[in-house]
Amino acid sequence: MYDNLIAGVPTDLWIGGEWKKASDGSRFDVIDPATEAVITNVASGTVEDAKAAVEAAAAAGAEWAARKPRERGEILRRAFELFTAQSERFAKLITLENGKAMPDSRGEVAYAAEFFRWFAEEGVRNLGQLYNAPSSGARIMVQHRPAGVACLVTPWNYPAAMATRKIAPALAAGCTVVLKPASETPLTMLALMPLLAEAGVPAGVVNVVPSRRSGAVVSAMLHDMRVRVVSFTGSTEVGVKLLREAADNVVRPAMELGGNAPFLVFEDADIDAAVEGAMIAKMRNQGEACTAANRFYVHEAVHDAFAAKLTEKMAALKMGNGLDESVALGPLVNADTRDKVQELVDDAVAKGARVTVGGTRPDGKGFFYPATVLTHISDDAKLLREEIFGPVAALKTFKTEDEAIRAANATEYGLAAYLYTKDLSRGLRVSEKLDFGMIGLNRGLMSDPAAPFGGMKQSGLGREGAHEGLMEFLETQYVSVNW
């Protein structure tokens, strides 16, 4: 049933430029979230395999680091071109293993490929400094060099983009990497490896070790002194665990963790534009995005109009198998995620929320959850504090700007926030008071390879994309020069 769709997709471990079976021969199934059928199975890396991958990355390190930045950039540029040329094949593969609708998958491939192009260009701008020491008479020379082997760990919600957002800057900086993709979605990155090889990435520079034993495999990497960076995207819970482990060998962490984005609609907002933005901020990727709007705070004067228009748009979305071109809302990734969404909706409803559309999971195969809008959310509803990670918009009203800011900031997360107002000075004033790393001001989408992506508070450490993303993989060295 899946043979055509996965034709040519490798299913083993990619170590040192070769496809390898797991050292103990074990494999795990990859499931289609739309049908619950097994798509294929993939080698499940062991601790020995993780060590072999670090060995391969370390062995390839010196030669890769010594390449001229322009040469590395040209290889990344070819990777962008090869990946883009196969965008339709990759979009289908993403939909197959993650479930998202094809327009979302196409958007992800374009975004993911763009990191190769951006860092092909940014990698040549690894600038240092030279200046006079104020009193000693020495010259201070500052330069940046590759940090070493990087351990990359990525989630299932963006199987391509979360990985290329790490691989591209690491390679541009001159680092070599071992990637552990999410067990739900290992196929996309395995399929990318032959393209990277064709683009000219030497054997051992990028290694991929999918595994069912994530904890043991990642831990083995973090306890190898040659691994100098751990770049993780995923839940705050696992991120905190990896931070603790990284401390043992003082491995530099870059952490992109959970979110709980507020979406503020002021009384002077363009309501149609706010609803458009809300649909993107909430429904992109079925709501399975760390930047997904989780809590809508709508001024009481415009709440009912906003709720009615949002409900109408949500009700019009067709739910179904993401490979069907007429579908806008695919299934969630697995049963646990779907059940968690239902639990949060049930909790809110038990505490007084009203359902204007959706609210009940359908029967039958596939991890589907309908587009849902809830109003009259009580302050103790769990979904105000926890990531919903599903297609559920929760609306509350506010009266004053201060009240909206206080409510928005009342979370331990600080990744993304959105606000809609026609008054630009209010927009900027409120933005500065929001404790979030990224703000969408009259925009429902802020992800851009040219912008520093990342969070404050428990949403993470470090930034991806922009120039900052390159710096995560560079060490600073200073030479005191007797001129």
Q: In the set 155, 169, 370, 414, which binds ligand NAD (CB under 6 A)?
A: 155
Q: How many Å apart are CA 333 and CA 252, to the nearest integer?
A: 30
Strand-pairing partners, residue 297, are: 264, 396
| Binding status of residue 460 toward ligand NAD by CB under 6 A | yes
Which range binds ligand NAD by CB under 6 A, 33-41, 211-219, 338-346, 361-369? 211-219
For residue 213, report the phi and psi dihedrals to the nearest 5 degrees: -105, 60
Q: In this complex, which beta carbon is closest to ligand NAD, that of residue 125 or of residue 244?
A: 244
Question: Which one is catalytic: 256, 387, 464, 472?
Answer: 256
The closest alpha carbon to 342, from 355, 360, 358, 330, belongs to: 360
Residue whose beta carbon is closest to ligand NAD: 234
Helix (H/G/I), strand (E/B), else coil: 330: coil
* Tokens 């998202």 sit on residue: 100
The residues in 366-395 that bind ligand NAD, with binding defined as CB under 6 A, are 387
Q: For residue 221, state whether it binds ligand NAD (rule: CB under 6 A).
A: no
258 near ligand NAD, rule: CB under 6 A: yes
The b-or-e profile of 85-110 (16+ CB within 10 A means b, else e) is: eebebbbbbbbbbbbbbbebbbbbbe
| 256 is annotated as an active-site residue | yes
472 binds ligand NAD (CB under 6 A): no
Distance CA 371, CA 361 (A): 10
Cβ–Cβ < 8 Å for 60, 204 = yes
Which of 215, 352, 429, 478 is close enough to bind ligand NAD by CB under 6 A?
215
Give the dihedral sign, CA 297/298/303/308: negative
Number of shown-chain residues binding ligand NAD (CB under 6 A): 28
Residue in 95, 98, 154, 375 binding ligand NAD, rule: CB under 6 A: 154
Site for ligand NAD in 273-292 (CB under 6 A): 290
Instruction: Report phi then psi at 20, rounded to 5.
Output: -130, 145
Out of 83, 116, 118, 156, point to the residue binding ligand NAD (CB under 6 A): 156
Shortest Cβ 337–ligand NAD spacing (Å): 8
Where in the sequence numbering do the catalytic residues fall?
A: 256
Q: Which residues in this chain contact ligand NAD in the complex, by CB under 6 A?
A: 153-157, 162, 180, 182-183, 214-215, 218, 233-235, 238, 241-242, 256-259, 290, 387, 415, 455, 459-460
